Structure formats: structure tokens, C-alpha cells
Amino acid sequence: MTADFDAKALSLVGLTKWFGSRCPSCSSGGDGVLEKNYCPECGTVYALRDLSLTLYEGEVLGVVGESGSGKSTILNCLYYDMEPSSGAAYLSSFEGGAVDIFSVSAQARRAIRNSLLGKVYQNPLQGLKMRFSSISNVAEKLIAAGQRNVGAMEARAVGLLGHVNIPSVRMREAPEFFSGGMQQRVQIAKALSNNPPILLLDEVTTGLDLSVQAKVLDLVKRIQRELGISMLLVSHDLGVVRMLADRTVVMLNGEVVEEGLTDQILEDPQEPYTQELVHSML
Amino acid sequence: MSVKSLYNFAFFDEGSKREVRRAILKAVAIPGYQVPFASREMPIARGWGTGGLQLTLSLVGRDDVLKVIDQGADESVNAVSIKRLVTGTTGIRATDDAREATIIQSRHRIPELPLARGQILVLQVPMPEPLRFVEPSEYATKRLHAEKEYSGAYLALFEEIMKYGRVATGADHPVAVNDRYVMAPSPIPRFDNPKMDRSRALILLGAGREKKIYAVPPFTKVASLDFEDHPFEVESVEGRKCRKCGAEGAFMDEIVDDASGAAEYQCNDTSFCSARAGARAGAVDAARAP
């Protein structure tokens, strides 16, 4: 699959998410008022502040930053797990990128979530139905997208689970009986079930031991190469980002502080925060 | 002093009956939609048919004839207690004959004889929410119904096919009503699901513990959920013959002889069976033919 690297797969425009009541001193943007991402007067927390990003076709965009910097909030908003306070997002695969995906109806949101996006959560508990068989977990997105043929869905699920190296004898087992690494791979299979053009990865390797981490990373890399899927990769692990991401944005307090090619960011960081982050790497 | 003189007609005060009737009207207007209602305290425990009983008590009039069935049987303790409460507080007559009754309150079965126009079938429901198995939150399931998002119900069936090679719902197989709301038909066997489709009688379903009333108005389309390559099937009763009345093609109870281990079958619907076993067998069969 050849990707047009100039075509935008996803753009976020002015995404803002706050938690709290807001007050006159912070609602105008908050520059100079906020302590980090927190308004000392009213206690409002700004998880994302007027954030704009572009993800191009076929690329892996790394999002790094300390915890609380707003990385996961981006994915939560995009996957409709959370409603953004303001801002817009455009998917090239939805209405040709002309319609803000936050402005559409609940039905359209479900269609986007089920067919145009796949998400792998940091915690498999959020992404999987732990008591349903792995095949059913993968089929869930297919059913949600309107498929009603058991044979076809089963074949697709078995194919995907094989792709992520779940042994065929265990495919009918529920993920609650799986190791963390296997659960993560089932999640990846589920996220891929409808061939989504965009995959959202939230700390996919956090909490996994090193050899399993390597396998999951290999898998993500292979999928990206074979299927040419655009990926938004959130991680606080710079090693993961170095291995997978073509470009990287560095976030701090809900804002992008630096953006560029991954190698550039890691070898020659410009901003003081990025320098600190890179130098903290073991 | 008789029970009748101690209580208002049909046990409830008029305001309570009116509230339940209002919920019924709304349920009939939106087929398959679960209407919340203020489930009353009853002289029987919740989970023993209080939903159905409240529907019956709110609807019953002096000219009604009541039939109560518990899992096919007219004479079980629960059916008898409910019958006595209603007849005792209204003075109306109870019957075993499904054709004679104007209100049929039932738990877990729809009578073998087809119901007629003007009759009301009241079903007792323990779990009115067909999506509860996949989504524990009521807040979430309400939204799923509003958005007609029923993949969870299909997922539960898909999971059964993955586990057992076929849809294995023993009872309460979910149905889509009027191509809109997915509904729990109460724990009737799959055998009874097709009887709901375009039923001539009004079907009301009441869940006392869960405080929900819903309905299938007469002649409404009711389709059991299935997949393209796994079409809905009722339990097979082929080769089973009632040991008492000789009926075939009716829903049967299996009775295993302890000594020989051999299985015998008997109609689950007792009034249908005893009517057939009696002199009226020919007439009963004639009524059953479509």
C-alpha cells in the first residue's frame, strides 16, 4: 500500500478540555494565570489547551510528555470516550474531512468509532469484554458495524487473532484468562477488525515485561508496514516512540511544546522541557 | 368478613390503578419500549409475579374472566395464590380455559391455543432489559435503546454460537418489536416466540421488581434476533408425543422414569392437555388449527 504522505488523515483544531467551573481569570485562555494546567482561583484543570495536531496518511505520530500532560485526553476525546470542551477534529475518511466529528449525531459517532477508528487502551479492562471469548471481542466491532454473518465474522476474528499470535486453541477463551501481553494483543486484533484507517494507541506497552513489550512493538510495526494504517501513538516511554514514531510531538500542561521528526526531537531537543525529558532517559 | 369487603375493588386504590393504566397506554403506544412505573408494594414478594399482577389488577373489570398460568400449569401454588387474590378482591370468575378467559396472566409460557382478538395476555417479567447481560448500567442501556444500538444483544448470541456451536438461549430469546425496540419476551421458551408475532391478543409485560411495563399491541411484528447463517429456530418437539393426551407438536415437559431411566413426554400446557384428554379433544384440535 502506497501512502500519500502529504494527505492529512486526521486534523485536530483548537482542541480544549477542562474539568471544573472556570472563572473569568482563566477562561480567556489562562496564559499567565494557570499554575501548570491548574487555575489557582477556581480550581479548574485544563487537560488540553487549544491543541492542534495533524496526522498524515500512513505515518506514526508519537505523543510524549509527562503524566497529566493531556496525552490520553486527546485519544479519549477522539474515540468519544470523553466530550471535548471545545475544538474540532476532521477525519479524511469521514465526509472527505469536511465535517467536524464532534458536531455529528450519536449514530454517526458510533459509525466513526466502529468503522473509522480503532483504539488500544492502556488497560485491557477498558477495551475488552473480559468474560466474552476473544473471538467475540474481535467480532464485537464487526457486529456493531452491521455485520450479521457468523461464519464471516468468525473467520475474520480467527485470522486477526492468528495475526497477533494468539494460539488457535485459546481463541475461544475469554481474555480474563490471558496474560497481560495476550490481552493487549487481543485488543490490537479487535482494534484492527474493521480495517480502520486510523489506530489510536494509548501506552500499549506500559506494564508489560520487556520481552512481551518487544513482541507487541514488533506487531504494531508489522501492522503499520503491511496495512499502512496511520497511528497516533501516546507513550511516556521514549524508547517506544523512538522505535515506532516517524514524527513526535512533545506535550506539557495540555499544550504542544515541540514538534518534529522523532530523531530530531530525541537527538537535538530545542525546548528546555524536551531537553529535560530526553536527558531523563536511562 | 370476606376479603372483598376489606379491600377496594381489585385490591388497589383507584389512583394506583390509574397510574398503571397510564403506563400501559404509553407502552402500547411505543411497542417494545420499557415504560417505568411506580411498582406498588404487594401482598406477594417481588419476583413472584408482582409486575404481572399489577397489570392484571389495574385492568380487571366486573365482566372479566381470569386465567393464571405458572410455567404452563393452572394449578401450581403461585398461579392459585394469584388467582385467589384477584378473584377474592373482585368477585370475578377464574377459568382454566384459554379461550374463555379475557385476561390471561402467565409466567414463562404462552398458551398452546392461539389467542383471539379482545384477549389480553399478561406476562410476568423478571428481567426486562435485554441488554443487561452486556451492559450493567441502566443509564447506558437507556441510551443504547434510544440510539437503536443493539449490537450487545447480537454479541450475546454470537458468544453462544462460539461457545456451543448454536444459539443456546433456553428462554427469553430477545426479539425486535416493530423493527424498533429490542425487547426481552420474558422467560418463555423460544417455542413461544413466534406466537408473539402479529398476535391477535394484546400482550402486556410487567416487571414488578424492575418497575417496568412494556407491550406488544395486536398485529405487531415481532422478530426474534438471529444471524444470516444461524436463523432463529424454536426448540424441536419432533417425535415427542404427550403420554396423557397424545398431542404432538406442542411444547412438552420431559419426565424421566426413575426406575427405567426412560423419558416420557407430557404437554407443558396443562389446561390444553386435560381438555384434549377429555371429551373435547376434537374441538380443542379444531381450535388449534390455524
pLDDT at B1: 45
Q: Nearest Cβ partner of B158 from A106, A107, A143?
A: A143
The answer, yes or no, to whether residue B289 has pLDDT greater than 80, is no
> Is B32 tagged catalytic?
yes
CA closest to B153 among chain A residues: A143
Question: Which residues on A lie below 8 Å from B149 (Cβ)?
Answer: 110, 144
Q: Do the Cβ atoms of A139 and B161 come within 8 Å? A: no
Of A190, A208, A212, the closest CA to residue A199 belongs to: A190
The predicted pLDDT at position B154 comes to 96
Q: Do B90 and B212 share a domain, yes or no?
A: yes
Q: Nearest chain B Cα to A132, which residue?
A: B159
Q: What is the mean pLDDT of residues B214-224?
A: 98
Are the Cβ atoms of B147 and A133 closer than 8 angstroms? no
Nearest to B147 among A106, A133, A136 (CB): A106
Per-residue pLDDT of chain A (282 residues; tens, 9 = 90+): 455 668 899 999 999 999 998 888 887 766 777 888 888 888 889 999 999 999 999 999 999 998 889 999 999 999 999 999 999 999 999 999 999 999 999 989 999 998 899 999 989 999 999 999 999 999 999 999 899 999 999 999 999 999 888 999 999 999 999 998 899 999 999 999 988 999 999 988 887 778 878 888 888 888 888 888 999 999 988 889 999 999 999 999 999 999 999 999 999 999 999 998 888 876
H/E element, A140 = helix A134-144
Which domain, by its residues, includes B270?
236-290
Is B60 found in the same domain as B94? yes
C-alpha cell, A278:
530526553
Listed in sequence order, the residues at least 6 apart from A248 whose beta carbon sits closer than 8 Å to its beta carbon are: A61, A62, A63, A64, A241, A259, A260, A261, A262, A265, A266
Closest in A110, A140, A149 to B155, CB measured: A140
What are the Cα distances from residue B152, in Å, to A111, A133, A144? 15, 14, 8
Vertex B26: Cα angle to B22 and B27 (nearest 5): 115
Give a yes or no: residue B175 inside a domain: no
Residue B255 and residue B278 in one domain: yes
Report the CATH number that the domain containing residue B114 is assigned in CATH: 3.40.50.11310
For residue A133, the chain B residue with the least C-alpha distance is B159
**Which residues of chain B lie closer than 8 angstroms to A110, CB-CB?**
147, 149
Does residue B57 sit in the same domain as residue B186? Answer: yes
Lowest average pLDDT, out of A1-15, B32-46, B83-97, goes to A1-15
Count of pairs with CB atoms under 8 A, one residue in A, one in B: 45
What pLDDT does A32 receive? 73
Q: Do A172 and B163 touch (CB under 8 A)?
A: yes
| A221 interfacial to chain B (CB closer than 8 Å) | no
Beta bridge partners of A19: A45
Is A104 part of the contact surface with chain B (CB cutoff 8 Å)? no
In a domain, B217, yes or no: yes
Residue of B134, B147, B159 with shortest CB distance to A133: B159
Q: Which residues on A lie below 8 Å from B162 (Cβ)?
A: 133, 135-136, 154, 172
Q: How far is B228 from chain A (nearest CA, A)?
A: 5
d(CA A240, CA A275): 18
In a domain, B93, yes or no: yes
Residues B99 and B187 in one domain: yes
Tell me, yes or no, whether B212 and B286 share the same domain.
no
- Total domains in chain B come to 2
Residue of higher predicted confidence among B279 and A136: A136
Beta carbons of B170 and B149 less than 8 angstroms apart: no
Residue B4's pLDDT band, with cuts at 50, 70 and 90, is: low
Which of B32, B49, B52, B72 is the catalytic position? B32
Is the model's pLDDT at B184 over the cut of 90? yes
Q: Which residues contact B282 (CB under 8 A, 6 or more apart)?
A: none
pTM assigned to the model = 0.87
The whole-angstrom distance between A264's CA and the closest CA on chain B is: 45
Select the CATH number that applies to the domain covering A8-129+198-279 from these four: 3.40.50.300, 1.10.10.10, 3.90.45.10, 3.40.50.360: 3.40.50.300
B142 within domain boundaries: no
Burial (CB count <10 Å: 0-12, 13-18, 19+), residue B14:
exposed
